[in-house]
């Protein structure tokens, strides 16, 4: 029935001519992450990672990923779904402790490596490009016990892990994403992990984590450059998350506050790599230094890069990876706190418009125009880099006739085309996610998938939703309706 509906709908829009064509330079894919789909948490010699630990030793998670979508045992079915959709690429992540059980590169799991080899080979056979995220948050617990991203030696441990991946899979994998959403790793993770191993230090930990993570990324990139690039001819980058931040009024203070929020969210990681001068954004350096002194610290809570480090970090991305979902409103907030905190350093208040349509996730409102603004902000601030959208998606609480998800992607893809017409060089778009999966602390309640997964059935059967057929039709025709309201589906 859905297939028929879509055929009719394509016919209707073709007749009406209200369609837009995607440029040939844009490739389409879907994304997942290891802990959210794999299961097999103790398969063979896989080591424990921080989410295994959190799930098994605290009640912070409403569900765990012990089985998840069971992709560890069912990756053939995953590849079949990717073929059904007709995607150009599949973005997935490697679980560090599945290939290096103890976190260090002296001990490789042959079974872990065999799992990813099999997935990669199946993708290549299906003519689907594998795009690998090295770090999608599941840090080996051993390394967390040594301080996690607080520990400056993480730079070397991550680079060792990256090198194992380049060496083992790089003959077939040509797109590498070192980190998924550094902002989440450094700002949210200390909140998630406040139980272990030590209490988190607000306004200090976040910046130490960012500092080490940026250096770890740059080190992995330089290793690829020096040792692997000439033979493997792949590309390395990372993917940054950012909402658009819109000033709540057009007052100078609110406009500055919105810009400052963007710099603290996106600029924090983008500026050191993509700007001409490198290093952290000036506004972060100024504000954090000033607040730190006011609070009685002898120096800024934001660590400094050396001149040599700034040069080593600058330019270490072959593309600008972006994860984008929603928009916030920003108001300048004047009352300062005595307690240091990453949020207080921004002195802003973040809100959303109550009239914006909501998803099942309270933070995710449907605001397509913010996506266009953000893509143009990146174009203007970083000399129009090639931009690859590695996540964009909508959550609901479960229904295979998912009209709201179709509407979300229709609107965001139209805006992506607007941004391309504005001059933004967008070369990839990935839907989050291939299938419903473990939404971290929210468990299995917030569903983002194009495929519905029945988590009550031990076999974890997957069923295409209407949005899967919608996405498939876009990939086949490479056209999109300007406005879905005229279509027969609505």
Ligand X SMILES: *[C@@H]1O[C@H](CO)[C@@H](O)[C@H](O)[C@H]1NC(C)=O
Count of residues interacting with ligand X (CB under 6 A): 10
CB of 480 to ligand X, least distance (A): 42
CB of 335 to ligand X, least distance (A): 4
Nearer to ligand X, 103 or 368 (CB): 103
Distance CA 215, CA 152 (A): 9
Catalogue the active-site residues.
181, 391
Closest CA to 165 of 100, 262, 74, 238: 100
Out of 59, 335, 355, 456, name the contact with ligand X by CB under 6 A. Answer: 335
Q: Contact between 140 and ligand X (CB under 6 A)?
A: no
CB of 208 to ligand X, least distance (A): 23
Nearer to ligand X, 63 or 102 (CB): 102
Cα distances from 291 to residues 228, 269, 336, 342, 388, in angstroms, run 43, 21, 9, 11, 35
Out of 295, 337, 358, 376, name the contact with ligand X by CB under 6 A. Answer: 337
Q: Contact between 400 and ligand X (CB under 6 A)?
A: no
Distance CA 466, CA 3 (A): 9
CB of 35 to ligand X, least distance (A): 14
Nearer to ligand X, 71 or 175 (CB): 71
Nearer to ligand X, 100 or 428 (CB): 100
CB of 47 to ligand X, least distance (A): 5
The dihedral built from the CA positions of residue 467, 470, 475 and 476, taken in this order, carries a sign that is positive
Contact in structure between 141 and 97 (CB atoms under 8 Å): yes
CB of 331 to ligand X, least distance (A): 9
CB of 433 to ligand X, least distance (A): 23
Q: What is the DSSP string of 49-101?
A: BHHHHHHHH-S--SS--SSTT-HHHHHHHHHHHHHHHT-SEEEEE--HHHHST
- Is 277 exposed, middle or buried, given 0-12, 13-18 or 19+ CB atoms closer than 10 A? exposed
- Is 194 exposed, middle or buried, given 0-12, 13-18 or 19+ CB atoms closer than 10 A? exposed
Q: With H, G, I as helix, E, B as strand and everything else as coil, classify residue 419.
A: helix
Which alpha helices (DSSP H) does 224-265 contain, by range?
A: 229-232, 252-262
Element spanning 300, H or E: none
Interacting residues with ligand X between 76 and 135 (CB under 6 A): 101-102, 107
Interacting residues with ligand X between 32 and 61 (CB under 6 A): 42, 45, 47
Q: Give every CB contact of residue 287 below 8 A, 6+ residues apart in sequence.
A: 260, 345, 346, 347
DSSP secondary-structure letter at 434?
S
Cα distances from 275 to residues 210, 269, 314, 383, 468, in angstroms, run 17, 10, 7, 8, 38
Nearer to ligand X, 14 or 42 (CB): 42
Element spanning 452, H or E: strand 451-453
Nearer to ligand X, 107 or 118 (CB): 107
- Give the HSE-up count for residue 328: Cα atoms under 13 Å, Cβ half-sphere: 19
Nearer to ligand X, 31 or 257 (CB): 257
Distance CA 402, CA 4 (A): 16
Q: Contact between 66 and ligand X (CB under 6 A)?
A: yes
Q: Map residues 278-317 to x or -, x wherever contact with ligand X holds by CB under 6 A.
A: ----------------------------------------
Q: With H, G, I as helix, E, B as strand and everything else as coil, classify residue 255.
A: helix
Question: How many beta carbons lie within 10 A of that of residue 223, not counting itself?
Answer: 18
Nearer to ligand X, 102 or 304 (CB): 102
CB of 203 to ligand X, least distance (A): 13
Q: Give every CB contact of residue 307 below 8 A, 6+ residues apart in sequence.
A: none
Residues found near ligand X in the complex (CB under 6 A): 42, 45, 47, 66, 101-102, 107, 333, 335, 337
């Amino acid at each position: 029935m859905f297939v028929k509906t879509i055929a009719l709908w394509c016919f209707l829009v073709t007749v009406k001519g209200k369609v837009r064509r995607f440029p040939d330079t844009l490739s389409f894919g879907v994304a997942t992450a290891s802990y959210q789909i794999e299961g097999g948490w103790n398969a063979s010699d896989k080591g424990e990672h921080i989410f295994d630990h959190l799930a098994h030793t605290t009640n912070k998670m409403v569900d765990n990923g012990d089985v998840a979508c069971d992709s560890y045992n069912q990756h053939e079915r995953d590849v079949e779904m990717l073929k059904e959709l007709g995607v150009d690429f599949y973005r997935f992540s490697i679980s560090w402790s599945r290939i290096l059980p103890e976190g260090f590169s002296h001990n490789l799991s042959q079974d872990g490596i065999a799992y990813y080899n099999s997935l990669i080979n199946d993708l290549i056979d299906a003519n689907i490009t594998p795009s690998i995220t090295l770090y999608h948050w599941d840090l080996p617990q051993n390394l967390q016990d040594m301080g996690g991203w607080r520990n400056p030696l993480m730079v070397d441990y991550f680079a060792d892990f990256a090198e194992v991946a380049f060496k083992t899979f790089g003959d077939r994998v040509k797109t590498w994403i070192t980190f998924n959403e550094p902002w989440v790793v450094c700002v949210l993770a200390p909140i998630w992990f406040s139980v272990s191993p030590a209490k988190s230090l607000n306004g200090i930990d976040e910046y130490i984590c960012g500092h080490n993570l940026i250096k770890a990324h740059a080190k992995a990139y330089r290793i690829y450059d020096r040792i692997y690039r000439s033979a493997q001819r792949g590309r390395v980058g990372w993917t940054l998350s950012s909402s658009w931040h819109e000033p709540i009024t057009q007052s100078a203070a609110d406009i500055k506050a919105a810009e400052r929020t963007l710099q603290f969210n996106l600029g924090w990681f983008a500026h050191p790599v993509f700007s001409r001068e490198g290093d952290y954004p000036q506004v972060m350096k100024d504000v954090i230094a000033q607040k730190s002194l006011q609070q009685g610290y002898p120096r800024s809570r934001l660590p400094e890069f050396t001149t040599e480090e700034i040069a080593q970090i600058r330019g270490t991305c072959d593309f600008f990876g972006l994860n984008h979902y929603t928009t916030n409103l920003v108001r300048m907030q004047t009352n300062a706190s005595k307690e240091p905190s990453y949020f207080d350093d921004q002195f802003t208040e973040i809100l959303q418009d109550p009239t914006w349509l909501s998803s099942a996730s309270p933070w995710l409102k449907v605001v397509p125009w913010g996506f266009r603004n953000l893509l143009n902000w990146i174009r203007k601030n970083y000399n129009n880099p090639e931009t690859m959208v590695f996540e964009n998606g909508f959550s609901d609480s479960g229904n295979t006739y998912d009209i709201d998800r179709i509407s979300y992607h229709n609107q965001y893809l139209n805006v992506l085309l607007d941004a391309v017409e504005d001059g933004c060089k967008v070369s990839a778009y990935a839907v989050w996610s291939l299938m419903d999966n473990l939404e971290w602390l929210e468990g299995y309640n917030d569903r983002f998938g194009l495929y519905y997964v029945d988590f009550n059935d031990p076999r974890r059967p997957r069923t295409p939703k209407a949005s899967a057929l919608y996405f498939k039709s876009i990939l086949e025709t490479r056209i999109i309706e300007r406005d879905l309201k005229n279509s027969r589906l609505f």
